[in-house]
C-alpha cells in the first residue's frame, strides 16, 4: 500500500501526524504500508511556487491512495487565484480523476449534545452521502457572463449536464457502498423540473436492476433538505449530483455539530482515493496542539476500507475512536463540562492505546 501523505497548511501537519501514528500501529503489526510525503497548498507554494507542483503530482500519481490534512491560510489569500492553496486541491482532484465524493455523517451517541437538533433525532445517526464531483452545472459548458444581444442586458449563465456514463459510474459506486451498509439507497434529484435530473433518475433506476438486494428510493432535493432535518435517521446512503451534493453534504455534516469529527473520501474508477477531513486548515488554532485529529484518523480508516479492502482494520480504528469518546476524552471543540479535555497529540495517543 503506497500512501502519499500531504500534510498541507494550518493544523494539517498536527492532525496528519496523529493519523500516521494510528497507521503505524498496523504497519508494525505487518501491514505492508509505505508512506511518501509531499507538499500541497500553501506549503507547496512556499517550497515550489505552485500549490500542486510537479513533485507532488508524481508522488500522488504513483501512490495507491492519498492522505491529506488541509490547505489554506490568510497569508495566501492575496496570491493570484491560480496560485492559491485551494487551487491545489481542485488540481489534484482533476489530476487523479476523483469523481465520487463520500461524506459520512456519523453522530456518536456520546456527542449527541453537540448537535443543534434534539439528541433523540440525531443520536446514533449514520448516513453516507455520495456526491458526484466532476460534472453537473459546476463544469458544464457553455458558461459565463455576457451581454444578451437581444435585450442588451448583462446576464450570467451555466449549463447543467450529465452524460449517461457519468451517471452510471456514480450510481454503481453508491449501490456498492449500500451493499456494504444497510442496503438502502436514496437518489436525490429535481426530476419534476430539470430534464438533466429526470435523465439521472432514469439511469439510476436502470442501474438498480444489477443490485436487487438494495432498496432504491427517489426524493426531490427540496424534500431531502427538509427530511435531513426532520428525520435524518431514515437515510442510509444518499446519491446525488454535484451541486445538490455540495449543499446536502454540508447540511448533513452539521447534523452532527462537530466539524472536527467528519471524514471524507474522493475516489476514482480504480478505487484510488484522496482521504481528508471535511474541515479546513483552521488557522485560528494552528500550531497550538488544540485541533481535533479524529476526522483525519477516520479518513485513514476510510482509506483502508475503500482503497485497500481492509474492512477489519478500518473497523478497529473506528471502534478505538468510539472507546476513547465513551471513556469521556474530548478535544476542545467537542468538550462539555464533566469530560476530560485533551490535546491533539493526547487524543492520538489515546486512540493508539485503545487499538
Q: Residues interacting with ligand NAD, by CB under 6 A?
A: 11, 15, 70-73, 86, 89, 259-260, 276, 279-285, 291-292, 295, 333
Q: Which is nearer to ligand NAD, 18 or 196 (CB)?
A: 18
Q: CA-to-CA distance for 265 and 314, rounded, in angstroms?
A: 14
* Catalytic residue chosen out of the listed positions 95, 183, 246, 323: 246
* Catalytic residue chosen out of the listed positions 45, 76, 136, 190: 190
User: Quick one: CA dihedral 13, 19, 23, 28, positive or negative?
Assistant: positive
Per the annotation, the verdict on 80 as an active-site residue is no
Q: CA-to-CA distance for 38 and 56, rounded, in angstroms?
A: 5
Supply the minimum distance, in Å, between the C-beta of residue 304 and ligand NAD.
20
Per the annotation, the verdict on 329 as an active-site residue is no
Residue 213, phi then psi, degrees to nearest 5: -75, -20
Supply the minimum distance, in Å, between the C-beta of residue 342 and ligand NAD.
12
Per the annotation, the verdict on 206 as an active-site residue is no
Supply the minimum distance, in Å, between the C-beta of residue 350 and ligand NAD.
15
Q: How far is CA 311 from the centre of its chain?
A: 18
Per the annotation, the verdict on 189 as an active-site residue is no
Nearest to 40 by CA among 2, 73, 74: 73
Beta-bridged to residue 329, according to DSSP, are 340
Q: CA-to-CA distance for 179 and 130, rounded, in angstroms?
A: 14
Per the annotation, the verdict on 246 as an active-site residue is yes
* Catalytic residue chosen out of the listed positions 48, 138, 220, 335: 138
Q: Which is nearer to ligand NAD, 276 or 318 (CB)?
A: 276
Which residue carries 481528508 as its cell?
Answer: 276
* Catalytic residue chosen out of the listed positions 46, 77, 206, 222: 222
Q: Which is nearer to ligand NAD, 3 or 70 (CB)?
A: 70
Contact at 8 Å (CB) between 259 and 253?
Answer: yes
**Exposure string (b/e) for 173-183, b if CB count within 10 Å is 16 or more?**
bbbebbeeeee
Q: Which is nearer to ligand NAD, 210 or 284 (CB)?
A: 284
C-alpha cell at 272: 484510488
Supply the minimum distance, in Å, between the C-beta of residue 42 and ligand NAD.
8
* Active site residue ranges: 138, 190, 222, 246, 250
Amino acid at each position: 500500500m503506497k500512501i502519499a501523505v500531504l500534510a498541507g497548511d494550518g493544523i494539517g501537519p498536527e492532525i496528519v501526524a496523529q493519523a500516521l501514528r494510528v497507521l503505524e500501529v498496523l504497519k508494525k503489526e505487518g501491514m505492508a504500508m509505505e508512506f511518501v510525503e509531499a507538499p500541497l497548498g500553501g506549503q507547496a507554494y512556499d517550497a515550489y511556487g505552485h500549490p500542486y507542483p510537479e513533485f507532488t503530482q508524481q508522488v500522488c500519481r504513483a501512490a495507491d491512495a492519498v492522505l491529506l490534512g488541509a490547505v489554506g491560510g490568510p497569508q495566501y489569500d492575496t496570491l493570484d487565484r491560480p496560485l492559491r492553496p485551494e487551487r491545489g486541491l481542485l488540481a489534484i482532484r482533476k489530476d487523479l480523476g476523483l469523481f465520487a465524493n463520500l461524506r459520512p455523517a456519523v453522530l456518536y451517541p456520546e456527542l449527541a449534545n453537540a448537535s443543534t437538533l434534539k439528541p433523540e433525532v440525531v443520536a446514533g445517526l449514520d448516513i453516507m452521502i455520495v456526491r458526484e464531483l466532476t460534472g453537473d452545472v459546476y463544469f458544464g459548458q457553455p458558461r459565463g457572463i455576457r451581454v444578451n444581444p437581444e435585450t442588451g442586458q448583462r446576464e450570467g449563465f451555466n449549463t447543467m449536464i450529465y452524460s449517461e456514463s457519468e451517471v452510471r459510474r456514480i450510481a454503481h459506486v453508491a449501490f456498492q457502498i449500500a451493499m456494504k451498509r444497510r442496503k438502502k439507497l436514496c437518489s436525490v434529484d429535481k426530476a419534476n423540473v430539470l430534464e438533466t435530473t429526470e435523465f439521472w433518475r432514469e439511469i439510476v433506476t436502470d442501474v438498480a436492476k444489477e443490485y436487487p438486494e438494495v432498496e432504491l428510493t427517489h426524493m426531490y432535493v427540496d424534500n431531502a433538505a427538509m427530511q435531513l432535518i426532520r428525520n435524518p435517521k431514515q437515510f442510509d446512503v444518499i446519491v446525488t449530483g454535484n451541486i445538490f451534493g455540495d449543499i446536502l453534504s454540508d447540511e448533513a455534516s452539521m447534523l452532527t455539530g462537530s466539524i472536527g469529527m467528519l471524514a471524507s473520501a474522493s475516489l476514482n474508477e480504480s478505487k484510488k482515493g484522496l482521504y481528508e477531513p471535511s474541515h479546513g486548515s483552521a488557522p485560528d488554532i494552528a500550531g497550538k496542539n488544540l485541533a481535533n485529529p479524529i476526522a483525519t484518523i477516520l479518513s485513514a480508516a476510510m482509506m483502508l476500507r475503500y482503497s485497500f479492502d481492509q474492512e477489519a482494520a478500518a473497523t478497529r480504528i473506528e471502534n478505538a475512536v468510539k472507546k476513547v469518546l465513551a471513556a469521556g476524552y474530548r478535544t476542545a471543540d467537542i468538550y462539555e463540562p464533566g469530560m476530560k479535555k485533551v490535546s491533539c497529540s493526547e487524543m492520538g495517543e489515546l486512540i493508539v492505546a485503545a487499538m
